[in-house]
Amino acid sequence: MSVKYTIGLDYGTNSVRALIVNVANGAEVAAAVWTYAHGTQGVILARDPNLARQHPADYLQGAEITIQQTLASAKKNVRGFKSEQVIGIGVDTTGSTPLPVDATGQPLAFQKKFANHPAAMAWLWKDHTGVSEAAEITALAAKIRPQYLAKCGGTYSSEWFWSKILKCLRTAPEVFNAAHSWIELADFVPAALSGTEHPDKFIAGVCAAGHKAMWNAKWGGYPDAEFLAKLNPKLASLRSRLTTRVYSIDKSVGGLTAAWAKKTGLSAGIPIAVGAFDAHLGAVGSGVAPGTLVKIIGTSTCDIAIASNTKKLADVPGLCGIVDGSVLPGNFGLEAGQSAVGDLFNWLVNYIEPGAPISRSASRKTKTSRSEDRLSATHEDLSVAALKLKPGESGLLALDWNNGNRTILVDQRLTGLLIGQTLYTTPAEIYRALIEATAFGALTIINRFEEYGVKISSVVNCGGIAEKSDLTMQIYADVTGRPMKVSRSAQTCALGSAIAASVVAGAHKNYAAAQKAMTGLKPKVYKPNPAAHKTYKEIYVLYKELHDAFGTQTWNGNLFGVMKKLIEIRGQVRK
């Protein structure tokens, strides 16, 4: 019997990746990446810093190019490889990234009159233009539909489906009125590949619908028409045009069309799995199971956990959703995350552009400090210098909110904070403090899970930072007091999509079997240092003070002692 493969398509913020995977053992035999053609690194920006859009044509072009390239690479990498051995395709995307479509299911941006209209494009996940709309949705739900909020952490976000659509209705009515419906990117790509874009055939994934659009089978699907009409009657009308076919990733939306088979070189009719978000399928590709928290660490971070749906689960305030079947069938999917992690480190390197000297020892050796003689430090430079610092040695403490707080405060208006700087503070000290801030934020999320009965017994990390930064992983271990494991695959989102394809194609009988065969962990485990953890426990108390003081309305403490305590800890460490 010939070896079988599946393809995982992973749509990120700036590019799309295709990955060909051996379904028997998870071996990744070929990959290709294509950066979206429109905008800046694939993102269409404007003077409004909250606006971020993408052109849907890039999604289709990206699929065609990367599938062709991976097939060509596989033929070079694997003797005797044939495209006929590919038996299915899975898709993961960013989200919530909704786009308006016409009565045939085609994006409005494909029409000449809307080709350059930002509102007619895909509203990327990090588009925060709907902040006021999100607040309005939250307030209305709290008043008349509290059950809606209970399943999305208590606050509806500007990153999500209804906030963006309501914003479009108010600011670009010509686009809203021309749209027959709105669909998520995670659903658009599978529909396009299978020719099921038309509303009569269209299938949505429970992952996107449940986590971002307040869909829940218990209340009949999407928010009811009465609720939506109080926001705007046109939203109630739109609800009637949203699909009632909402499925989990163990289902197929249909087979690859003949047209797409001709474009790519694949076999017509191979099944396309129901789409899901990148973090959720990244968790699948990392071997998520009850008790295991998967952290997908990149420009931002998504934290995914699951819990069996056979047991009662408490509503967890501040989460991005509790959705039955959104990660694995038979389990509730729980999503949390941080809005800036890699982006926070990039901010220091790319915007502040710290130059040499990056540490105090380097400063003593440097004879000049003129700006024209300074070279910008890289992540590697700062990591090397930061690794030499002990926990608490810098006297610095930061909040990780430079792009708002996703969990547990769910407030995109929050901003960053750094305290404890002196005239001798170095870039390396700031760099380490920012990493520590994201680790404190990660611990806050873990504590929230466990506070409501979701036990976290293991943490598996994946993504570029988990792959490349020993410093970050060790700090995370030291701050949380938990070993940090790393997924074997560097492309867990695409791998998760390939796993979904293997299940719908029948290569594995269920997800447990598919994960056992196709996932694994790296041998290196980052274990917490007891002394470092002890120091970080002291600093975390101060982090929580700042977190609650600036992030909540109920805090009534006193910040007078925060700086003094940081100095005290700094003095103890430096002895």
pLDDT digits (tens, 9 = 90+) for 269-302: 999 999 999 999 999 999 999 999 999 998 889 9
pLDDT at 358 exceeding the cut of 80? no
> Could you tell me if 505 and 476 lie in one domain?
no
136's enclosing H/E stretch is helix 131-144
Comparing 46-50, 255-259, 426-430, the range with the smallest average pLDDT is: 46-50
> Could you tell me if 351 and 280 lie in one domain?
no
Over residues 534-539, mean pLDDT = 98
What confidence tens digit (pLDDT) does each residue in 237-246 have?
999 999 999 9
Instruction: Give residue for tokens 């209340």.
Output: 219
Confidence (pLDDT) at 238: 98
Contact at 8 Å (CB) between 459 and 482? yes
305's enclosing H/E stretch is strand 301-308
Confidence (pLDDT) at 298: 86
pLDDT at 368 exceeding the cut of 70? no
> Could you tell me if 481 and 491 lie in one domain?
no
Backbone angles phi, psi at 516, to 5 degrees: -60, -40
- The whole model's pTM is what? 0.89
> Could you tell me if 402 and 259 lie in one domain?
no
> Domain holding 141: CATH number?
3.30.420.40
- Binned at pLDDT 50, 70 and 90, residue 164 comes out as very high
348's enclosing H/E stretch is none
> Could you tell me if 356 and 472 lie in one domain?
yes
Over residues 151-162, mean pLDDT = 91
- Binned at pLDDT 50, 70 and 90, residue 362 comes out as low
Domain that holds residue 17: 5-287+487-518
Query: Quick check: bond before 435 cis, omega within 30?
Result: no
CB-based burial, 498-525: b 16+ in 10 Å, e otherwise: bbbbbbbbebbeebeebbebbbebbeee
pLDDT at 52 exceeding the cut of 50? yes
What spatial distance separates the first Cα and last Cα of the chain, rounded to whole Å?
67
In a domain, 297, yes or no: no
pLDDT at 372 exceeding the cut of 50? no
Question: Residue 108, exposed/middle/buried by CB under 10 A (0-12, 13-18, 19+)?
Answer: buried
pLDDT at 161 exceeding the cut of 70? yes
Over residues 229-237, mean pLDDT = 98
pLDDT at 154 exceeding the cut of 90? no
Confidence (pLDDT) at 374: 53
Confidence (pLDDT) at 152: 87
Over residues 87-103, mean pLDDT = 97
In a domain, 299, yes or no: no
In a domain, 455, yes or no: yes
Average pLDDT over all residues of the chain: 94
> Could you tell me if 84 and 222 lie in one domain?
yes
How many domains is the chain built from?
2
Over residues 68-88, mean pLDDT = 97
In a domain, 319, yes or no: no
User: Residue 223: which of 140, 336, 99, 101 has the closest Cα?
Assistant: 140
What confidence tens digit (pLDDT) does each residue in 463-489 have?
889 999 999 999 999 999 999 999 999
